Amino acid sequence: MFSLMERAKIRLFVEHALGQGNSVPMTQPQANYLFNVMRLGVGDVVALFNGQDGEWTCRVVDAAKRRGMVICETQTLPLQTPPDLWLLFAPIKKARTDFIVEKAAEMGASMIFPVQTEYTNSDRIRQDKLQAHAIEAAEQCGGTYVPEVANIQKLSAMLDAWPEGRHLLFCDESMVGQPSNLKDLPSGPWAIVIGPEGGFSDREREMLRDHPSSHAISLGPRILRADTAAVAALALWQTTLGDWT
Ligand code: SAM
């Protein structure tokens, strides 16, 4: 029987199938972290997840400076997928963009889409770095799912090809001060849209408001920074329609 004493304290994301008896090689950075930094050795346990097979407790069978191997023993968590909620946001300064991705992963977004808007501060993102932030967030928060971070694309192009049936929660700063009123929103797949520091242009606001899938909302009596607005909208949606209910 799996005892509490054997619960792994360290969680790592791997790109390898997990299942009873599977051998999982550690990458060089993972081996360095586990065996040099955290001082784990042969016989110790580590928790692994890959975004598909849940979380597994795995035992170290090879621990070298630059390589290592673990064997999956027990599944400790099943895959827990979040509700079908996308986050669309316009990238801002690097540290705040990193924060948005990290928080979106923790708060249970299923996909993260950086979008270019007319007043977007930064048109370039490092998708690979942002994806790594989402992975780190899942490692830290005990999640077994990692939201994919898409490459940046134009908000207008996304809206033109919007998937039928996916509702849009348009966070509209021009509604500041009005009640947030999320009652009576339909269930189903959703996407939250957050603008950049400069807000949405009039043209974008019109496009978002007129979109057939759109529900415009206020996020309360104060104008929030874009990173705060993303977290606030995710919390509101999760408590109204998501998995916090
Ligand atoms: N520069 C804009 C202004 O002064 O009106 C503010 C933009 S705000 C920093 C960034 C984004 O956060 C907005 O585009 C909107 O999506 C969201 N946001 C912030 N506060 C909001 C509020 N009170 N209601 C709805 N959305 C809000």
Any ligand 1 atom below 6 A from CB of 26: no
Tokens at 12, concatenated: 């790592």
41 CA to centre of ligand 1 in angstroms? 50
Any ligand 1 atom below 6 A from CB of 88: no
Whether the pLDDT of residue 143 is over 50: the answer is yes
CA-196 nearest atom, ligand 1: 10
* Angle between helical axes of 226-240 and 94-107 (0-180°, round to 10): 10
- Ligand 1 pocket test, candidate residues 224, 225, 236, 237, most atoms within 8 A of CB: 224
pLDDT at 5: 46
Residue nearest to atom 27 of ligand 1 (CA): 173
> Percent of the chain, pLDDT > 70?
98
pLDDT band at 75 (very low <50, low <70, confident <90, very high): very high
CA–CA gap between residue 2 and residue 87 (Å, rounded): 38
CA–CA gap between residue 85 and residue 159 (Å, rounded): 16
pLDDT at 182: 87
Any ligand 1 atom below 6 A from CB of 91: no
Any ligand 1 atom below 6 A from CB of 226: yes
pLDDT at 238: 97
230 CA to centre of ligand 1 in angstroms? 10
| pLDDT tens-place string over residues 183-228 | 889 999 999 999 999 999 999 999 999 999 999 999 999 999 999 9
CA–CA gap between residue 67 and residue 72 (Å, rounded): 17
Tokens at 90, concatenated: 């316009």
pLDDT at 1: 42
CA–CA gap between residue 136 and residue 145 (Å, rounded): 11
Residue nearest to atom 7 of ligand 1 (CA): 199
Mean pLDDT is lowest, of 43-57, 146-160, 171-185, for 171-185
Mean pLDDT is lowest, of 14-23, 155-164, 175-184, for 175-184
All structural domains of the chain, each given as residue ranges with its CATH number in brackets, are 11-77 (2.40.240.20), 85-240 (3.40.1280.10)
C-beta atoms surrounding 47 within 10 Å: 20
Angle, CA of 109, 167 and 177, to the nearest 5°: 85
pTM score, two decimals? 0.94
For residue 154, what are the β-bridge partners? 116
98 CA to centre of ligand 1 in angstroms? 19
| pLDDT tens-place string over residues 95-137 | 999 999 999 999 999 999 999 999 987 778 999 999 999 999 9
